[in-house]
Structure 1
Amino acid sequence: MGMNLNPFTWWTGASWGTMFGLRGKKRVGEDSLGNVYYEGGKDTAGNPRRWVIYSGSNDASRVPPEWFSWLHHHIEETPDEAPVPVRKWQKPAVPNLTGTALAYRPPGALEAGGHRARATGDYEAWSPDA
């Protein structure tokens, strides 16, 4: 299915049109998730254009912070050339988990069993007559 679907879709990776458009562009690196980064040409402000080709579904939350900084011209060198120092309080980047089985479910959510803690008595319902 992947080979036949590729020319027509963008949500499962780069289409043939995107890959054709990247001809002549420089591949500058790859991140730990398998996303590939390219650079080439100039935008209207004279800055170099930068692209990411996702490994898997096209989800911007799957770009690690250091590569996000490079894509948006916050840093000039790629994270491979000049690694960004990791602070001890930083957690590893995690893609957006909304809509998956690993998404956050607050207590009382139907997906989490639908039972919430009993009210503590400090809540008083509003009444229009009060």
Structure 2
Amino acid sequence: MGIFKNIFTWWEGATFGTAMGTIFGGERVGEDALGNIYYEAKKAENGRKRRWVIYKGANDASRVPPEWHGWLHGTLDAVPSEALPSPRPWQREATPNLTGTGSAYRPAGALEAGGRRAQATGDYEAWAPDA
């Protein structure tokens, strides 16, 4: 299927231009713990090399760990494994944004969680424009 898959469908969630840039103009620089692969352009444009990510799974920017986010946006020149110290024992792993999924946070009383709102207590007085 090869090239036809890239032309007529999304390639691992990437657009055709990103897929072709990855194949012909990109150099793989690293991979994060979630399996996302990071690339950098071989040639610089306007003094900077373009950087991008090919997600493993759904395209969701919240799935990019903070250290790789810094690299993608040019805050770090070297890849995070070379530029940053090892994580501290008290640091937690970054988690993706779960909004819109079954695992999203649902507070007590949320209709999606099957809860019921607490009964109104009567301590609320509605605003009226004539008051």
Instruction: Note if contact 2:10-2:16 (Cα within 8 Å) is conserved in structure 1.
Output: no
Q: Secondary structure at 1:91's aligned position in 2? A: coil
Instruction: Note if contact 2:65-2:94 (Cα within 8 Å) is conserved in structure 1.
Output: yes
CA distance in 1, matches of 2:119, 2:16: 56
Whether 1:14 and 2:8 are equivalent positions in the alignment is no
1:50 match: 51
CA distance in 2, matches of 1:110, 1:9: 37
Instruction: Note if contact 2:11-2:19 (Cα within 8 Å) is conserved in structure 1.
Output: no
- CA drift at 1:81: 1.9
1:91 match: 92
CA distance in 2, matches of 1:31, 1:20: 22
TM-score by length of 1: 0.77
TM-score by length of 2: 0.76
Instruction: Note if contact 1:10-1:58 (Cα within 8 Å) is conserved in structure 2.
Output: no
CA distance in 2, matches of 1:99, 1:111: 11
C-alpha RMSD of the superposition: 2.8
Q: What are structure 2's unaligned runs of at least 5 residues?
A: none
CA distance in 2, matches of 1:118, 1:84: 52
- CA drift at 1:71: 0.4
User: Taking structure 1 as reference, are residues 26 and 104 closer, same or farther at Cα in structure 2, changes over 3 Å only?
Assistant: same
The count of residues paired between Structure 1 and Structure 2 equals 127
- CA drift at 1:96: 1.2
Instruction: Note if contact 1:7-1:17 (Cα within 8 Å) is conserved in structure 2.
Output: no
User: Taking structure 1 as reference, are residues 12 and 48 closer, same or farther at Cα in structure 2, changes over 3 Å only?
Assistant: closer
Instruction: Note if contact 2:12-2:57 (Cα within 8 Å) is conserved in structure 1.
Output: yes
Question: Per-residue CA shift, 1:57-111, capped at 9, x if unaligned?
Answer: 1111111100000000111110122334434554321111111011111222111
Q: What are structure 1's unaligned runs of at least 5 residues?
A: none
Question: Partner letter of residue 97 of structure 2?
Answer: N
